[in-house]
Amino acid sequence: MSEKIEALVDGGKANAGPPLGPALGPLGINIGEVIKQINEKTKVFEGMKVPVTVIVEGKNFKIKVGTPPVSALIKKEAKVEKLSSNPKEEKVADLKIEQIIKIAKSKRDSMNTSDMKTCVKQIVGSCISCGILVEGKNPKEVIKEIERGEYQDEIIHEKTELTAEELRELEDEKKRLAEERKRHIEEMRKKAEAIMKEMEGKERKEIITKMEEAEISKDIINELLPKESTGEIKEVKVEEVKKKE
């Protein structure tokens, strides 16, 4: 009879503490060896949470490693703190086709196809909702290019390495996009503030609807029109009573 232990570990940094150690201890296997193998298999996902399954049969064990979500892999490859909350208007980074292939290779086993070209197209498609450019272009355009046979050599040979110059170019592009995003956010904030002034005295719901029609991001809406909290209102009232006393 086999035992199955499932856990979420830090890529390349699993240890014998909870959750793995206490679960594996009673099974009588070499915990140190299990941890060593898990870390070897998950080191490519350093800095991310990785799902692992340890299947124990007597004194033998097998390790199955899942992969983080595509969005987490894109975020890591792009080296950004967070992906865009408004991908249609705000782009946060640019990826080369080699980086897309790298992500596709790590996710291929969990995809519905083993065809690398199809896997690459799916990863490029995921970049759309993340606010990530591919080869400096809209991902939708890159998908069409792949369908026309562009990047064929890179995909067939599964190229994943970038030159030092290409890495520098990506960093420069990321800085440019950050500045562009900063300007866009300021423009949207001013637009939102103008709407608030214009609709002063109106209900919050009406103002939000107007902002959404103007394509103001949810982040800015929540910043300028935070949700009302009953607890906070009570605290304010208590303070007012104390002042009167």
- Helix, strand and coil content of the chain, in percent to the nearest 5, comes to 55, 15, 30
Residues 83, 58, single domain; the answer is: no
Residues 146, 188, single domain; the answer is: no
Residues 48, 116, single domain; the answer is: no
Residues 61, 118, single domain; the answer is: no
Helix 164-198 to helix 204-213 angle, to the nearest 10 degrees?
140
Q: What is the pTM of this model?
A: 0.67
Pairing of strands 3-10, 49-57: antiparallel
Decide if 133 is inside a domain. yes
Distances (CA, A) of 209 to 136, 195, 214, 242: 33, 11, 9, 38
Decide if 47 is inside a domain. yes
Q: 112 with 130: CB under 8 angstroms?
A: no
Residue 196, by phi and psi: left (phi above 0), alpha (psi -120 to 50) or beta?
A: alpha
Counted domains in the chain: 3
Domain with residue 22: its CATH number is: 3.30.1550.10
Decide if 235 is inside a domain. no
Domain with residue 138: its CATH number is: 1.10.10.250
Residues 6+ apart with CB under 8 A from 3: 27, 55, 56, 57
Helix 97-107 to helix 116-128 angle, to the nearest 10 degrees?
110
Give pLDDT, residue 112.
Answer: 79
Decide if 239 is inside a domain. no
Give pLDDT, residue 118.
Answer: 95
Cα 61 to its chain centre, rounded Å, is 32
Residue 146 domain boundaries: 70-162
Pairing of strands 49-57, 60-65: antiparallel
Q: What is the pLDDT of residues 181-237, one digit of tens each?
A: 899 889 999 999 999 999 988 899 999 999 999 888 888 898 898 876 544 433 333
Decide if 170 is inside a domain. no
Q: What is the pLDDT of residues 11-63, one digit of tens each?
A: 899 999 888 888 888 888 899 999 999 999 888 788 888 899 999 988 889 99
Q: Cα(127)–Cα(124) distance, rounded to whole angstroms?
A: 5
Decide if 130 is inside a domain. yes
Decide if 156 is inside a domain. yes
Give pLDDT, residue 41.
Answer: 86
Torsional sign, CA 217, 187, 140, 67: negative
Residues 46, 76, single domain; the answer is: no
Residues 82, 120, single domain; the answer is: yes
Q: What is the pLDDT of residues 133-168, one digit of tens each?
A: 999 999 999 999 999 999 999 999 999 999 999 999
Q: Cα(101)–Cα(152) distance, rounded to whole angstroms?
A: 11
Helix 116-128 to helix 139-147 angle, to the nearest 10 degrees?
160
Q: What is the pLDDT of residues 50-91, one digit of tens each?
A: 899 999 988 889 998 888 889 999 999 999 989 998 898 889
Residues 41, 87, single domain; the answer is: no
Residues 141, 184, single domain; the answer is: no
- Across the chain, mean pLDDT equals 87
